[in-house]
């Protein structure tokens, strides 16, 4: 699965590609065929992709969201402002979002790291939507549970384009096919933000 440049968080690196790489290396070790140069090339490619999203694409998306042209994307892409739990550094990351009144939802995958900074009880954050910043508190849903599945359904119902990114299949009515949810639920992360100001 490739990153959804139009919507999904832009630092996501495909888990499937990495898992396939590990399987190839394991097969090579068992059969005396391991190739270190190939592994080095793989790491270089993944590192280059990460650098592209972080240093080129993310800044462009942030600039667009803060420009007079923000309406092109600001209906479902915003900027999450948070503080690193270990470093104390300020971060601002463009992410797909959905909103129900004063609840903002962000969908992610365990491959990513940004959400780990929000673990704990009601972590203070700010969500920048259409050039306005809204303070709130974030809660992380991780691990397969009724609450996580319900939140994923709500997110995909509002933003069905992201279903394919996560390998979620939709039925004729736009609902998530349960077998596809069963296959991926334990890998999904939902961040729910309770906004302090509802508008």
CATH number at residue 179: 2.30.110.10
Report yes or no on 58 lying in a domain. no
Distance in angstroms (rounded) separating the CA atoms of residues 29 and 22 = 11
Q: Which domain holds residue 126?
A: 76-195
Report yes or no on 85 lying in a domain. yes
* Total tally of structural domains belonging to the chain: 1
Report yes or no on 166 lying in a domain. yes
Region 133-149: mean pLDDT is 96
| Residues pairing with 186 in the sheet | none
Lowest mean pLDDT among 4-13, 25-34, 65-74: 4-13
Report yes or no on 90 lying in a domain. yes
pTM: 0.69
By the 10 Å C-beta count (0-12 exposed, 13-18 middle, 19+ buried), 61 is classed as buried
Region 50-54: mean pLDDT is 51
Region 76-86: mean pLDDT is 91
Distance in angstroms (rounded) separating the CA atoms of residues 115 and 67 = 26
| Residues pairing with 108 in the sheet | 189
pLDDT of residue 64: 61
pLDDT of residue 117: 95
Report yes or no on 97 lying in a domain. yes
Which percentage of the chain shows pLDDT scores above 90?
A: 49
């Amino acid at each position: 699965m490739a990153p959804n440049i139009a919507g999904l968080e832009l630092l996501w690196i495909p888990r499937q590609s990495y898992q396939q790489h590990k399987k190839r290396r394991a097969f090579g070790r068992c059969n005396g065929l391991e190739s270190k140069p190939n592994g080095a090339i793989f790491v270089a490619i993944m590192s280059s992709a990460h650098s592209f999203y972080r240093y080129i694409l993310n800044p462009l998306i942030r600039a667009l969201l803060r420009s007079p042209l923000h309406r092109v994307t600001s209906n479902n892409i915003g900027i999450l402002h948070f503080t690193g739990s270990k470093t104390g550094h300020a971060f601002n990351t463009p992410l797909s979002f959905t909103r129900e009144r004063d609840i903002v939802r962000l969908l992610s995958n365990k491959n990513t790291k940004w959400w780990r900074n929000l673990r704990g009880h009601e972590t203070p954050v700010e969500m920048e939507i259409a050039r306005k910043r809204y303070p709130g508190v974030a809660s992380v849903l991780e691990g397969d549970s009724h609450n996580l599945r319900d939140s994923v359904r709500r997110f995909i119902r509002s933003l069905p384009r992201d279903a394919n990114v996560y390998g979620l299949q939709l039925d004729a009515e736009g609902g998530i096919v349960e077998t596809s949810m069963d296959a991926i639920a334990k890998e999904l992360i939902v961040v729910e933000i309770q906004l302090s100001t509802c508008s």
